[in-house]
Structure 1
């Protein structure tokens, strides 16, 4: 390995990028570099770092930088934007598109090629690669056999609140990635898209300010089971000046629903903060209910419904409570 080789440690690069950095022909063609696609190379990791697979998103970004006619689309675009997809969608192929009538359909081994007819604002250029807009990508997902509820979760991911959880660095863009109006605009221009009926049902169920995919699932499951639809991430301001954010709230009955991920139980500081919040809102006449992933099992759902019914009965018997206002 030459000195220039030793200094270069990207996760993936093109042949042109390798040549510009002085890598020899032998290094590019005959050494131990992995070749995931034509003209792409993946170097082995340093000895001190374990090998980690290059994601489909990273492969697609590099291919699009190399060939500017390629547009990252469909599931790969959704993964790049950080949309919430069902766990069953284990991506084994990348999705690439070209604008119809400008070039042929993309043909790469291990990739799915598409033709698209986007408007100017429906394709974004980010760091030298092209990708379909979040709204266009959401409409494309209907052709990937997602259910209505799964489309709602993917769409909710585009409407996350700006002041919510920090966005992971592997995703692009900032919250919110779209608005309900911008999604409706794209949907109105794509009336013949596959799955248009599911999309029209799903778009009415989208809600802004959702923090996580389980929150979307819980909200939809409650509505499907005949419960009142909870308000998403309201900030509750009490008469004594204390305020807090709640994942989901039944405002009429003063019931808070908090979905606890694994970090809520493994981080002591977070766990204590959650307990303190529950004590504070209970002291002000609210009923807190905490749930985790168990709620999506049959037994866990029955247990949750019992707790919810019991909380409703207690609140109905309560004759007084401290006033509050709810806002965003």
Structure 2
């Protein structure tokens, strides 16, 4: 194959490059989507970016990845396994969306385009993609995605941006987007942190501060706390143990926990098994710490 075709190419592009239709039939190419051929092995089923990259040569100029696909490609958290985002591709009326197996096509209301190609793939604007996920996701997943969109050093959006999109295009499923924005907060760093915060609020515990800076008596920096109750000097922290095999990281974390406790704070570690089911064990650990510190329901 001509090198300029790359690993994935359209049949039309191959013929235009001088490849005969007979050669395309004889060579054992993989066909990831109708009209496309691939010289590379099939990507893992959970590699959404690779699946979208295989589809990209088939997209028309007016078609773009949207809904949960765009959010996943922007590394905004999606529902946890076993849920897997599907490949969604949209077009604005009167243009046509793709209608092929393995792709969910959407023909959207006519709007000024907001598509970005900064990731190398044509993506719907993240604010619009978040609203488009409204019919697909549970409330807490929409809250976690909103938290991620409005947080970080370079946020993708503001809460006002999300509110304006819902006001302009309408809510879905009995107001689930409006409710998720009521629960969303700036500063959250992970979907598990969002879930823990929601568990505490729904259990009628005080709402914790997010990313609270702990300083010593001289004003020196001690630690940035994911969640904090300054009034009661309680620091709940979700520990996903993603670096359980990293001894140096574990040592750094252990020293940090010691510094927090040395300032008179109760550091409450919440592990994966505390979050299982309805999260009752996580709530109980933090409620007990608050009660020890003088809080009363």
Q: TM-score range by the shorter chain?
A: 0.7 to 0.9
CA contact (8 A) 2:134 2:176 kept: yes
CA distance 1:231–1:15, shift in 2 (3 Å): farther
Are residues 1:248 and 2:227 paired? yes
How far off its partner does 1:242 sit? 3.0
Cα RMSD of the aligned pairs, angstroms, is: 2.9
- Runs of 4+ aligned residues of structure 1 deviating over 6 Å after TM superposition are 19-24
Tell me, which stretches of 5 or more residues in structure 2 are unaligned? none
- Aligned equivalent of 1:287, options 250, 266, 271: 266
1:199-218 matches, within 5 Å, as 199-218=177-196
**Aligned residue in 1 for 2:157:** 178
The answer to which of 280-289 and 232-241 deviates more is 232-241
CA shift digits 1:154-197 (9 cap, x unpaired) = 212212312xxxxxxxxxxxx42211121112111112x53360
1:127-206 matches, within 5 Å, as 129-144=121-136, 146-162=137-153, 175-191=154-170, 193-195=171-173, 197-206=175-184
Kindly tell me the number of residue pairs found equivalent between the two proteins: 291
The answer to which of 272-281 and 23-32 deviates more is 23-32
CA distance in 2, matches of 1:249, 1:36: 48
CA distance in 1, matches of 2:227, 2:21: 58
Are residues 1:44 and 2:36 paired? no
How far off its partner does 1:300 sit? 6.3
CA shift digits 1:267-296 (9 cap, x unpaired) = 111111111111111111111011121122
CA contact (8 A) 1:234 1:246 kept: yes
CA contact (8 A) 1:64 1:72 kept: no
CA distance 1:23–1:178, shift in 2 (3 Å): farther
CA distance 1:155–1:261, shift in 2 (3 Å): same
CA shift digits 1:129-156 (9 cap, x unpaired) = 4321111011111111x22112101212
Task: Give the SS at the match of 1:248.
Answer: strand
CA distance in 2, matches of 1:280, 1:21: 65
Are residues 1:60 and 2:52 paired? yes
Give the TM-score normalised by the residue count of structure 2.
Answer: 0.85
CA shift digits 1:36-59 (9 cap, x unpaired) = 1123222234xxxxx643744444
The answer to which of 235-244 and 22-31 deviates more is 22-31
**Aligned residue in 2 for 1:94:** 87
CA distance in 2, matches of 1:108, 1:299: 39
How far off its partner does 1:115 sit? 1.2
CA contact (8 A) 2:199 2:283 kept: no
**Aligned residue in 2 for 1:112:** 104
How far off its partner does 1:203 sit? 0.8
CA distance 1:309–1:119, shift in 2 (3 Å): same
CA distance 1:211–1:28, shift in 2 (3 Å): farther
How far off its partner does 1:262 sit? 2.6
CA shift digits 1:230-280 (9 cap, x unpaired) = 122222222231321111111221111221123232211111111111111
Give the TM-score normalised by the residue count of structure 1.
Answer: 0.78
